[in-house]
């Protein structure tokens, strides 16, 4: 490996899982795990960029996470509020562009406002292209795209025949963003939990038992090393 050049994935997607178990192991409330997880997410943006990753997409809150106790949902929303506010200054400092994917119409007005400000001020930034999934569900995203295309057809802007992969993808929250090359999920679970089902169709998967609050640059490097060893054939022959 030493003499070979490593292939760095252009787009990495992460399912940050294990905050609750990390807290439980320390006899702390689950929310303490989320707070630590949020700090790790900040650091990983810097690390990812320094390792040569262009696009990073993280799963912060799923359409299914509303099923958690109200107290936990409230604490997660509070953390997201702070994260979005802090990111406004941080994004200009490190030239990072931030976009939120998911159905933000269900979020509180002030959180939506911070998201809009952050997306606007960071839109010119050319460093890390960072996507945060909030109230994101892959099935929901596909249905919203289908509805928007159907509406364009009904109103004469599009014809059903025009639909192909590129046209359909232009209706997605991640339109214009290349599909992920590598998916990382922490905490030992081997499922995708409704994260980017369309976009992950040809992605390499890396699972680790490390809990998200313990994840760091070294662990990210391990995932990239694993990625370098993969032979991506995309259905062809090499």
Q: Is 65 part of the annotated catalytic residue set?
A: yes
Selected from 11, 17, 173, 180, the binder of ligand IPE by CB under 6 A is 17
Selected from 193, 205, 226, 228, the binder of ligand IPE by CB under 6 A is 193
- What's the closest the beta carbon of residue 220 comes to Mg ion, in angstroms? 19
- Residue 61 near ligand IPE by CB under 6 A: yes
Task: Output 114 or 135, the one with its CB closest to ligand IPE.
Answer: 135
Separation CA 178–CA 180 (nearest Å): 6
Selected from 13, 19, 31, 173, the binder of ligand IPE by CB under 6 A is 19
- What's the closest the beta carbon of residue 57 comes to ligand IPE, in angstroms? 12
Task: Output 17 or 219, the one with its CB closest to Mg ion.
Answer: 17
Query: Which three-class secondary structure string do you get for 16-28?
Result: CCCHHHHHHHCCC
The dihedral region occupied by 190, where left means phi > 0, alpha psi between -120 and 50, and beta the remainder, is beta
Task: Output 114 or 186, the one with its CB closest to Mg ion.
Answer: 186
DSSP 3-state assignment of 33? helix
Taking a C-beta distance cutoff of 8 angstroms, is the pair 97, 122 a contact? yes
**Subset of residues 63 to 122 that bind ligand IPE, contact rule: CB under 6 A:** 65, 76
- Six-digit token string for 74: 């409230």
Helix (H) or strand (E) holding 207: strand 204-207
Q: Which residues pair with 98 in a beta bridge?
A: 130
Of 59-67, 92-100, 202-210, 226-234, which segment contacts ligand IPE by CB under 6 A?
Answer: 59-67
Count Cβ atoms below 10 Å from residue 143 Cβ, excluding itself: 11
**Subset of residues 194 to 233 that bind ligand IPE, contact rule: CB under 6 A:** none
- Cα separations (Å) of 238 from 10, 22, 180? 21, 42, 21
- What's the closest the beta carbon of residue 229 comes to Mg ion, in angstroms? 28
- What's the closest the beta carbon of residue 61 comes to ligand IPE, in angstroms? 5
Separation CA 208–CA 194 (nearest Å): 19
- Residue 62 near ligand IPE by CB under 6 A: yes
Q: Is 181 part of the annotated catalytic residue set?
A: no
Query: Which residues sit at the interface with Mg ion, rule CB under 5 A?
Result: 17
- Six-digit token string for 117: 């400000």
Residues in contact with ligand IPE by CB under 6 A are 15-21, 59-62, 65, 76, 187, 189, 191, 193
């Amino acid at each position: 490996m030493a003499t070979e050049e490593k292939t760095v994935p252009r787009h990495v997607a992460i399912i940050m899982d294990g905050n609750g178990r990390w807290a439980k192991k320390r006899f702390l409330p689950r929310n303490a795990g989320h707070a630590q997880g949020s700090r790790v997410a900040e650091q990983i943006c810097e690390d990812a960029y320094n390792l040569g990753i262009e696009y990073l997409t993280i799963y912060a809150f799923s359409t299914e996470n509303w099923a958690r106790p109200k107290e936990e949902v409230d604490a997660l929303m509070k953390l997201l509020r702070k994260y979005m506010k802090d990111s406004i200054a941080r994004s200009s400092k490190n030239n990072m562009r931030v976009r939120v994917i998911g159905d933000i119409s269900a979020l509180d007005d002030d959180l939506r406002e911070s998201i809009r400000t952050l997306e606007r001020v960071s839109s010119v930034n050319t460093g890390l292209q960072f996507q945060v999934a909030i109230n994101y569900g892959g099935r929901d995203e596909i249905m919203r795209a289908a509805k928007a295309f159907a509406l364009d057809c009904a109103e004469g802007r599009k014809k059903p025949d025009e639909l192909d992969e590129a046209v359909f993808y232009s209706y997605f929250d991640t339109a214009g963003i290349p599909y992920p090359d590598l998916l990382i999920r922490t905490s030992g679970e081997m499922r995708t939990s409704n994260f980017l089902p369309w976009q992950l169709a040809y992605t390499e998967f890396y699972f680790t038992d490390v809990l998200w609050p313990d994840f760091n640059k070294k662990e990210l490097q391990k995932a990239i090393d694993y990625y370098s060893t993969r032979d991506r054939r995309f259905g062809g022959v090499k």
